[in-house]
Structure 1
Amino acid sequence: MSTETPRRTRFRLGAGKATRSRAVAGLTALLLPLAAMVGMASPAQAATSATATYLKKSDWGSGFEGQWTVKNTGTTALSSWTIEWDFPSGTGVGSAWDATVTSSGNHWTAKNLSWNGSVAPGASVSFGFNGTGSGSGSATGCKLNGASCDGGSVPGDNAPSAPGTPTASSITDTSAKLSWSAATDDHGIKNYDVLRDGAVVATVTGTTYTNTGLTAGTDYSYTVQARDTADQTGPASGAVKVHTTGGGGTDPGPGTGDKVNLGYFTDWGVYGRNYHVKNMDTSGSAAKITHINYAFGNVQGGKCTIGDSYADYDMAYTADKSVDGVADTWDQPLRGSFNQLRKLKAKYPHIKVLWSFGGWTWSGGFGQAAQNPAAFADSCYKLVEDPRWADVFDGIDIDWEYPNACGLTCDTSGPAALKSITSALRTKFGSNNLVTAAITADGSAGGKIDVADYAGAAQSLNWYNVMTYDFFGAWDAKGPTAPHSPLTPYTGIPKAGFSSSEAIAKLKAQGVPASKLLLGIGFYGRGWTGVTQDAPGGTATGAAPGTYEAGIEDYKVLKNSCPTTGTIAGTAYAHCGTNWWSYDTPATIGTKMAWAKNQGLGGAFFWEFSGDTSNGELVSAMNNGLK
């Protein structure tokens, strides 16, 4: 059994996302309270043979990620290292890896672990930490093994600033020219490292570089970092995306003649579900989808923030679970699912990845975001375009459940709030990035579609993921039993307006183009127990048992444990013993895809990959149906 527990008590009408918590991942080094002062290194170790450089790698408002790098600039090996520094009041270290970190007030001390104390001449070693507080102040008073961190006898050699974000020009099938504004440094700039997709491809003395030998019709991401005369590197610049010409391909999506086939990948799925990015490859699904929504980033304090830093970019992958069969190393700049997605995109260049923010549990922060949409959009852009993973993501998805209506919490931002936020996102992300939103499928009179300006917001979006599932479920413990994803209304349906066709029709009537609407499919079923009637409309005593949560179960389980016994409104249902389930099958998905094409929709999407079989039969059904 999994240790997953629900992050919410129930689903309601298009919430559709099992945003579950998971066991907290262990850290590679523990942050301990100061029990005793760390012994200082000997004067011999504190010679002018090493430097220590601090870098704030990212900042999400309420916290940040910091990194220290020790570089041996001498001719003999270091046997150990200890770094001391001061942070401003209110700023500290919350968790650390690859070092033991202690504190006394605002003074912090980091000491090597048993395996990374030795640093050969010319080599470097780094450790990182998640900081608490605003992180706006820099580290001061730095000492390395008791001496100045700049390798001299007194402080005074700061790391370079970040260069300007590069601009790209003269793009051909196989090359691109990059230009950037110079960085600054108190002792002068020596040269610049040019990074492509996170790896250094050149070191140049000027502020331009032409990268050759590229592949036609391929996406690349470039950043630049400066080196000073002491060989200290500063923070990376912003990222610029380059798409080389040729290759014969264009981005799939509404308006291009191709249908979108998008799936959600959940960050928590790597824990109890043991579903990783590699599974999208081995199942055959990666070759059949066009887009991935990575769920979820959080929304806090009116800003986009990290959802699960360990799963997202820190979890180390062994060779057997890695997309390309190569294990992560302790010192590589990006790990976790983000790095695996990078590898998946390298293998399947047609795939675009969006970072989805919000969801049922984390939608409560959108109300504050709507008070200052420009600031919200700016925070999202900085996070999605962080130089460490800018090449992984091709845009952003907003999953607000629900604007000016109630989900887990109730929002009163007003009908125009969604339009204000999506407009700000489009302005910030520009025309080269995808901006999408997951929205309600409540087609009832006076329901959730009626209380927000979905037509106005659509003007800034590539498409809507219309959550046409979870219309009915065992939150109504006594029933009546009903399909959770009916395509059309039917005689005896428990509530008028709760069907896919009615939701799509209402959105079209409001003014949303059909090509900007994707039909939603659930890769799971919803069920009741205590049911004696086979046909829909029966009474029940409660939720049917499920692997992770009562009342919900993956398709891959239900297809064998409770095979279908009938179909209603385009969705299958099953009655086995006293349990009653409804779920989509390859056959019903085929029917729904044909309907979506007939309606002129932009395609379809599903929640979520891990509910499918190991050979991806539901993804295949969607792909075949959309052709």
Structure 2
Amino acid sequence: MRFRHRAVAGFATLLLPLAGLVGLASPAQPATAKSATDAVVAPGPSTKVNLGYFIEWGIYGRNYNVKNLVTSGSAEKVTHINYAFGNVVDGKCAIGDSWADYEKPFTADQSVNGQDDTADQPLKGNFNQLRQLKAKYPDIKILWSFGGWTWSGGFTEAAKDPAAFAQSCYDLVEDPRWADVFDGIDLDWEYPNACGLTCDTSGATAIRDMMKAMRAEFGWQNLVTAAVTADASDGGKIEAAEYAGAAKYLNWYNVMTYDFFGAWAANGPTAPHSPLTSYKGIPAQGFNSAAAIAKYKEAGVPANKLLLGIGFYGRGWTGVTQDAPGGTATGPAAGTWEAGFEDYKVLEASCPATGTIAGTAYAHCGSDWWSYDTPATVLGKMSWAKKQGLGGAFFWEFSGDTSNGELVKAIDSGLR
């Protein structure tokens, strides 16, 4: 199964002490509480977040294991990890891949602790490796992310009974076999009251009602977050749902400020898939990071509850003769995992950047044209994010980075 990220009323606020979870301001409320009240607004992060997605299927063809977070040095730099993805089926949270999640035995050379999994141990798979990672790096917080591009269709049914959905998610995330692994939940609904792989017509308030139910179920001791669209066009996806109302119950939003443009427009025009700002000749207005962040702020989402998204990959075309953006093409460039898509770790060597535009990089090599972020453009984006007062940044996803974690380190350095 193929997964992909694509981004195309007031309640009284209490002053909350900066204590509790690392990077999170915790409200003065018992940690055992499993209820949210309208009188309390969930706090945003109190320190900058550097969050990365770890994909469960990466252990297969990509051969990218949790141990790689250690050997690359990335585990020392991130604050949070989103484990992707759990499924949403029949209105409930569900396991995505049981073999990868908790059944696959890892050998000593693959394991964080350097020991073989045994046949009779109660928990194996990625969950056990994440447990070992937390033992080694106890400050890292891990969230289980549900949905994603391929599995977002289940949210429509879930929205019919938010309380029951939240209960199912809590029961799964807090399953006694792995409850110690996770520090909360992330919902990646693409997209509420709008179209992604499928179309949703749950209504503008569905996202707010769902997040309210999640906070009521998960309480204040857990993180509750969501990945959200970056479509800031007039009448676009940000306008389709009540994101400001939902933000009251969330710790932050991961704004998917990437995949604005790509070779799904096979003949071009070529354009960077993750522009920070607009530029002369951009194919669509409102399709850039600055516009998305501004639109969420204008809607009433606090800046520190917005994380800027970075893609650890490029999107590209072939049949291109023009170096600058705006050229014509004959189709998507060849890629390791899918046409028009390639990891940064491949592109930085095979097609080095030849220019920058709108705060990101592009490369023209032979007849191929790619756009992607480099350590230098990541540093620029992090500087911008700090000036905007954002809560930090997140990225999709670890396995696209170099073996020494160049991009993760750039995010960390840029947020300091």
Query: Do they fold alike, i.e. is TM over 0.5?
Result: yes
In structure 2, C-alpha distance between the alignment counterparts of 1:383 and 1:301, rounded to whole Å: 14
Match of 1:295 in 2: 84
1:388 match: 177
Name 2:151's counterpart in structure 1: 362
Query: Which one has more relative contact order, counting CA pairs under 8 Å at least 6 apart?
Result: 2
* Residue 13 of structure 1: how far off its partner (Å): 2.8
Paired with 2:110 and 2:3, the residues of 1 have a C-alpha distance of: 32
Please say if residues 356 and 398 of structure 1, whose CA atoms lie closer than 8 Å, have aligned partners that are also in contact.
Answer: yes
In structure 2, the partner of 1:581 is: 370
Q: Is the 8 A contact 1:255 1:515 kept in 2?
A: no
Matched, 1:404 2:175: no
Once the two structures are TM-superposed, the CA of residue 253 in structure 1 deviates from its matched residue by: 3.9
Match of 1:426 in 2: 215
Q: Does 1:462 align with 2:233?
A: no
SS at match of 1:494: coil
Question: Matched residues in 2 for 1:595 and 1:423: separation?
Answer: 31
- Matched to 2:264, the amino acid is W
Q: Structure 2, unaligned stretches of length 5 or more? A: 9-18, 28-45
Task: Give the counterpart letter for 1:327 in structure 2.
Answer: D
Q: Are positions 1:251 and 2:40 aligned together? A: no
Aligned to 1:171: none
Contact 1:265 1:292 in 2 (8 A): yes
Measure the CA separation in 2 of the matches of 1:255 and 1:392: 20
In structure 1, how many angstroms separate the alpha carbons of the residues matched to 2:209 and 2:175? 24
Instruction: Quickly say closer, same or farther: Cα 1:302–1:9, change in 2 above 3 A.
Output: closer
Among 116, 119, 133, the alignment partner of 1:344 is: 133
Q: In the superposition, relative to structure 1, how do residues 281 and 536 fare at CA in structure 2: closer, same or farther (>3 Å)? A: same
C-alpha distance in 2, partners of 1:592/1:295? 24
1:528–1:544 contact (8 Å) kept in structure 2: yes
SS at match of 1:573: strand
Q: Are 1:481 and 2:252 matched, yes or no?
A: no
Asked whether the 8 Å contact 1:524–1:611 carries over to 2, the reply is: yes
Measure, in 2, the Cα distance between the counterparts of 1:249 and 1:381.
20
- Corresponding letter in the other structure for 2:22: D
Mapped to 1, the partners of 2:49 and 2:135 lie a distance apart of 20
Cα deviation, residue 569, structure 1: 0.2
- Report matched runs for 1:176-215 at 5 Å: none
1:322 to 107, 111, 114: 111
Q: Residues of 2 paired with 1:418 and 1:292: CA distance?
A: 23
Mapped partners of 2:312, 2:87: distance in 1: 24
Q: 1:439 pairs with 218, 225, 228, which one?
A: 228
Q: What is the rounded CA distance, in whole Å, between the counterparts of 2:305 and 2:120 in structure 1?
A: 42
Between structure 1 and structure 2, the one with the greater Rg is: 1
Name the counterpart of 2:72: 283
* 2:145 partner SS: strand
- Give the Cα separation in 1 of the matches to 2:5 and 2:218: 31
Task: Tell me which residue corresponds to 2:293.
Answer: 504
Could you tell me how far apart the structure 1 residues matched to 2:278 and 2:207 are? 28
- What is the CA–CA distance in structure 2 between the aligned matches of 1:349 and 1:621, rounded to whole Å? 22
1:532 aligned onto 2:303: no
AA matched with 1:452: A
What residue identity is the alignment partner of 2:331? G
How many residues matched? 388
> Following superposition of structure 1 onto structure 2, how do residues 141-156 of structure 1 map, counting pairs within 5 Å?
none
**1:94-173 mapped onto 2 (5 Å cutoff):** none
Q: Secondary structure at the match of 1:286?
A: helix
**CA contact 1:397–1:438 (8 Å) conserved in 2:** yes
Equivalent residues of 2:193, 2:200 under 8 A apart: yes
> 2:121 aligned to 324, 332, 338, which one?
332
> Which protein has the bigger helix share?
2
1:555 to 340, 344, 354: 344
Structure 2 CA distance for aligned equivalents of residues 576 and 413 of structure 1: 45
Task: Report the equivalent of 1:186.
Answer: none
Relative distance call for 1:272 and 1:388 in structure 2 (3 A) is same
- Give the CA deviation at 1:10: 8.0
Aligned to 2:323, the other structure's residue is in SS state: coil
Asked if structure 2 preserves the Cα contact closer than 8 Å seen for 1:341 and 1:392, the reply is: yes
1:601 to partner: Cα distance: 0.2
Could you say which residue in structure 2 is the equivalent of 1:597?
386
- By how many angstroms is 1:258 displaced? 1.3
Aligned-partner residue type, residue 23 of structure 2: P
Residues 624 and 443 of structure 1: is their aligned pair in 2 closer, same or farther, counting only changes over 3 Å?
A: same
1:490 and 2:291 correspond: no
Higher strand share: 1
Q: Which residue of 2 aligns with 1:13?
A: 7
What is the CA deviation profile of residues 535-566 of structure 1, one whole-angstrom value per residue up to 9, with x for unaligned ones?
00000000000001000000000000000000
Contact 1:520/1:605 (<8 A) preserved: yes
Q: Deviations over 1:78-112 (max 9, x none)?
A: xxxxxxxxxxxxxxxxxxxxxxxxxxxxxxxxxxx
- Distance (whole Å) between structure 1 residues aligned to residue 50 and residue 275 of structure 2: 20
Q: CA separation of 1:328/1:11 partners in 2, compared to 1, >3 Å: closer, same or farther? A: closer
CA distance in 1, matches of 2:161, 2:253: 23
Number of the residue aligned with 1:68 = none
Contact 1:318–1:328, Cα closer than 8 Å, also in 2: yes
SS of the residue corresponding to residue 296 of structure 1 reads strand
Q: Is the 8 A contact 1:285 1:620 kept in 2?
A: yes
Question: Are 1:541 and 2:330 an aligned pair?
Answer: yes
Q: What is residue 307 of structure 1 aligned with on the other side?
A: 96
- SS of 2:74's equivalent in the other structure is coil
Aligned CA RMSD, in angstroms, stands at 1.4
Q: Contact 1:11–1:475 at 8 Å: present in 2 too?
A: no
1:569 aligned partner: 358
Inter-partner Cα distance in structure 1 for 2:3 and 2:209: 30
Deviation of 1:592 (Å) = 0.2
Aligned AA (2:391): G
Pair 1:394–1:11, CA change in 2 (3 A):
closer
1:308-335 CA-partner distances (Å, limit 9, x unpaired): 0000000001000000101100000000
Does the residue aligned with 2:53 lie in a helix, a strand or coil? strand
What is the rounded CA distance, in whole Å, between the counterparts of 2:284 and 2:7 in structure 1?
11
Indicate conservation of the 8 Å contact 2:4/2:148, yes or no: no
Which amino acid letter does the alignment assign opposite residue 507 of structure 1?
Answer: Y
> Is the alpha carbon distance of 1:568 and 1:253 closer, same or farther for their aligned partners in structure 2, counting shifts above 3 Å?
farther
Question: Structure 1: which 5+ residue stretches go unaligned?
Answer: 1-6, 15-247
The 1:559/1:254 distance shift into structure 2, 3 A limit, reads farther
1:372 equivalent in structure 2: 161
Structure 1 residues 227-246: Cα deviation after superposition (integer angstroms, max 9, x where no partner): xxxxxxxxxxxxxxxxxxxx
Q: Which residue of 1 aligns with 2:306?
A: 517
Residue type of the alignment partner of 1:13: A
AA aligned opposite 1:409: T
CA contact (8 A) 1:443 1:498 kept: yes
TM-score, normalised to structure 1's length? 0.61
After superposition, the C-alpha distances for 1:335-368 in whole angstroms (9 at most, x for unaligned) are 0000000000000001000000000000000000
- The AA in structure 1 aligned to 2:108 is A
